[in-house]
Amino acid sequence: MQFNRLRIPLFVIASFLFGLKTYFVYRFMFDLSIENALQEFILFLNPLASAYLVFAISVWLKPKNQLRYLRWVMIIGTIILYLNLVFYRNFTDFITIPVLFQGNNAADLTSSILTLIHFEDLLLIVDIIIVWVLSKKLDEPAVIFNRHAKVAATAITFLLLAGNVVVAEIERPMLFVRAFDREYLVKNIGVFNYHVYDATMHTKTKAQRVFADGSEVNRIGSYMKEETGSKEPSEMFGVAEGKNVIFVSVESFQNFLFDTEINGTETTPFLNDLKESSDTIWFKNFYHQTAQGKTSDSEFIVENSMYPLDRGAVYFTHAQNEYNALPEILGNNGYYSSVFHANNKSFWNRDVMYENIGYDHFYGEDSFEETPENTFGWGLEDKEFFEQSIPYLKDQEQPFYSKFITLTHHFPFELPEDRANIDMYDSGSQTLNQYFQTARYTDEAIEEFFADLKEAGIYEDSIIVLMGDHYGISEFHNNAMSDFLGKEITPYEHIQLQRVPFMIHIPGYEKGEVREEVVGQIDVKPTLLNLLGIQDKKDLTFGSDMFSEDRKNFIAMRDGSFVSDEYIYTDSICYERESGIEIPPAEEACQPIQEKVDKELQYSNDIIYGDLFRFYDFK
């Protein structure tokens, strides 16, 4: 046997094969972006270093246990790698420990998960089969080292890891200090070392609440009032005073859908007209700011004007914290508040969070009549959802604040053929192909909802806010998106694709307009309070009233990217916002805002992890 003559230890072979497989997954299945030769070298080095670290442990075991150890480590490592791959295909992100505690959500993800499993995934077991066969064929598959040889084998591990970290810090200075971007961490230290880092950070943040005190909240509060608080109410103060607020969170809807056609048919005819209506104010440069919590993150941002967590979802990890949320403030000003969402109440821990932040009632899955005819995809289809909600809406005390969360336009965007009123798009991405059909269906559902509100006598006494909760098409589908849009999806274009609808429809207003300001979900809370004529001078927010002349001039993404009136910053590159022209690093045009972004993201984390609002008197 060739390997016997070369005397290559099986743990070395296993390390090389597993590391090579991991590099292949990084490069061609995660499709991690590579910008230079150093990044390519790091991406190749870190899986080999990580694999050698784990497999070299086997030299300290008895010969009969070595093979068992190698086999099981390869299987477990492959499972971890594959779970991250499936997760990445949906969320363009990597698993964190808080996400694992949200595992009960997986029961509602069955159909979505099946679309994320590809035939080529079988390649991930090739190295396992090779090592298994070699362990049976080789005469001496185990190794017997003396103590000095074992130490030497282990020392190589630390040399590899140290070299990996040094080169990574050269390529990405302060990698572990500014760890907002998990993809950068994985590219530089590998998915397995990243999970070790994540576990360390999880332990640290759990301890943060225990040792927190009230000294921090005053300092952070002073910053929030100085940097984000409008000094005077804007011109729109009280325009909707006393009116009901009907807030529709439109699932997975992105602005690129507007004014598009598939084979001559408009994708969203109703919303196309609504955004140009004389009663509608449309913010065309409105960005979602969600992270791993997706829809629950969008809810958290809107309700609290704070950033989501960089790991996991606040709705799960910190649902019992003290907040000064929008429903609670409205409740103190005479509003009845409710949520309509045809999903089970425990999904994203909503039943716990909603009660904590002041909602009076949650109309969940058990409040609706579901049948095989009106249920597909993620549950009750949007047309039935809105129609069945009207009687509840009519019975509510007025004025009310009611939030509706749609379901039909949710990944994987499944729609029965007889419900589709637009052709399926034709591209290499099944997800994008189906995306236009469910978008059209939700557009029709919203149009019918407007008609039902008018018939029920609710429309005239209400303002209707429509907001996209987060992206629907991830970076995994960039090739298909590039073909559809007719341009390359660069990091700059990717940020621009994070624009989602935000329309404020005020019946009888007659002063509708298209607004150009750069705004985001973090600005919704102060904007709605301003429209309703409510001033809460004790409130603390990271957002600004969108209509204010002295509003904050940037919005931050959870990964440290930002959009300002002049610049877009992402992937460590600064661009001119309007032209997309890259600005040389030497000019440091983005640095002043970047420093504020880092500070705000850290302050928001400090508030949530330390539950600092328990030390602050909002009354």
The residues that bridge with 505 in the sheet, in sequence order, are 280, 464
Query: Three-state SS string across 167-197, please?
Result: HHHHHCCCCCCCCCCHHHHHHHHCHHHHHHH
Dihedral through CA 176, CA 179, CA 181, CA 182, nearest 10? Answer: 70
Q: Which DSSP letter does residue 590 get?
A: S
Contact 343, 364 (CB under 8 A): yes
Q: Compute the distance between CA of residue 604 and CA of residue 304 in angstroms, rounded to an integer.
A: 11
Cα Rg of the chain (Å, integer): 26
Q: Which DSSP letter does residue 57 get?
A: G
Q: Compute the distance between CA of residue 457 and CA of residue 452 in angstroms, rounded to an integer.
A: 9
The 10 Å Cβ neighbour count of residue 426 is: 11
Q: Note if 375 is an active site residue.
A: no
Contact 396, 402 (CB under 8 A): yes
Write the DSSP assignment of 557-584 as a string of letters.
-TTS-EEESSEEEETTEEEETTT-PEEP
Amino acid at 329: I
Which of 267, 295, 438, 490 is catalytic? The answer is: 295
Query: Three-state SS string across 527-563, please?
Result: HHHHHCCCCCCCCCCCCCCCCCCCCCCEEECCCCCEE
Q: Compute the distance between CA of residue 254 and CA of residue 246 in angstroms, rounded to an integer.
A: 20
SS3 394: helix
Longest dimension (CA), the chain: 87
The secondary structure element, H or E, covering residue 222 is: helix 215-227
Catalytic residue numbers, as ranges: 295
